[in-house]
Structure 1
Amino acid sequence: MERPEIGVLGAGAFGTALAITLARAGRRVSLYARDEAQVDRMRTTGENAARLPGVPLPPSLRPTAAVAEAAAAPILLLAVPTQTLRRLAETQAGALAGRTLVACCKGVELGSGLLPTEVLEQAIPGARTAVLTGPSFAVDIALGKPTALTLATAHRGGEALQAELATPDLRLYLTEDALGAQLGGALKNVIAIAAGVVLGAGFGESARAALMTRGFAEIQRLAESRGALPETLAGLSGFGDLVLTCTSEKSRNFRHGQAIGRGELPDGAQTVEGVMTAHALAADGDSDTLPVTCMVSALLKGQVSLDEAKDLLLSRPLRHERG
């Protein structure tokens, strides 16, 4: 029996990488990009040179500038930034209705404080949603390097969706805890910015290890307070993703923080999900439960200097480690 087609909406690096690995595994894939010129170049050159240069697009992958063409597939991967997800969902609600919508972004919407699947369910009532998240860099997936991710959905049929999206190089682990998976993926970006700041400022590896550990405690504290499962945060979408993004310069969030720590101007052309996530969480949080997140937000807004941020965090009252 022929397998269902998959549509990928968003031809950035991650969306293109997912489309490539699925097409390479024999799936029929449509890759939507809103820029017709980009689509024409992909069709002509056989690669997405702007996002993943040198990686060929498989023959079964069809670039398109028509959102309706990609959205005709029963399974849609929404690989757009968290802050633009609502606009896509609201403007294309008719085309997306009745499809399985898999959010492939990590963050918290500024203003509403909602997670990606919550945004989709608010914009498209009755939507069947899932989230694909975990430790991964687009280039690794595109090149066929072994990668493991979390597929989270609270809806029925998760096992069937897992089977459709897994490939020989992309191993998926299923969970029903979509809340925990999304919170882990969102907050680790904020901690990665902080980790980059620490190294960029020359505070050292020991300081980064401490920051990652206390940052992970912060992630667990917030997630569990919202009803997430502790084991989810200890998995790929929590601890696994945190380790990757806090230790590699391939991470946009880490590089953003590293530039700030060095006193340099970060690359404004890159989407850095952790920036808006920090602001969104700090707006509703407090410095006692989210000390790193609130400090990152204040630092990014220029409300505190780097030295002030360091001193404020180190001067917090001594406490028990499990807290």
Structure 2
Amino acid sequence: MCPYNDRPAPTASPTPEAIVQQEGAQLDFSGAMSYGDYLQLDQVLTAQRPLSPAHDEMLFIVQHQTSELWMKLMLHELRAAVAAVSEDRMPQAFKVMARVSRIMEQLVHAWDVLATMTPPEYTQVRPFLGPSSGFQSFQYRCIEFTLGNKNAAMLKPHEHHPERLAMVRAAFEAPSLYDQAIRRLAAAGLPVPAESLDRDWTQPYVAKEAVRQAWLTVYRRPDAHWDLYQLAEKLVDIEDSFRLWRFRHVTTVERVIGFKRGTGGTGGVSYLRKMLDVVLFPELWSLRTEL
């Protein structure tokens, strides 16, 4: 007798139609909070209000609104990262910093969609934008300040809105994520100059040779300074992603408007290209030549 004859016959898998019918019988959500209620979709999906007759304005609005939502999440995670690093909660810091890098990847790809808007299509929309400008994105400015790119002139675009100005100013006056990372170096017993630990946080960070040497010690003995080594690499991941985000912004703007001045009289591509030269965590990049 074949030993396999005693095996039970295989049960036939339910058809897709049967699965849908079975699930449909359970779809009674009366009296419960709905998916749309939880996400407040009535407010979210009615927030797109084109001002022009142009078909492509919907793309322009949705791209910028979704980017602002991603930036809201990024700020949420960056603030958590700053707090975790300052309190020496490194596992939590690594988790949220990795998430920040992934959010930036989403923002990079968002430019791919906007890049499908051609110059003639944007020209139909532009007159309806008035003096509004990306310089007025208070969330983006908070991100830049939290990452250490401090510039007092960037407070001015928010002066017309006291609540937003207060939010941007708080990020401007607080230690950046990198400032907190340098404090971790000192807390670990590595030699860090006093002026890097207690300085005017509203000033742009200036690279210090002593700080570079401290990070070099970490990179030359990663096993002895594993948390600091991981922290440094998470910072490099963030700046790497941030550079890509900026670069895609520049190339998309150049593709859509060329070298015209931006709305609100801003420099457009010329200004954005200058921002590509900004280095947020300078010692973490310069030390690589020596390793």
What TM-score does the superposition give when structure 2 sets the normalisation length? 0.29
TM-score (norm 1): 0.27
Which structure has the highest helix share of the two? 2
Task: Give 1 or 2: higher strand fraction.
Answer: 1
Q: Larger RCO: Structure 1 or Structure 2 (Cα < 8 Å, ≥ 6 residues apart)?
A: 2
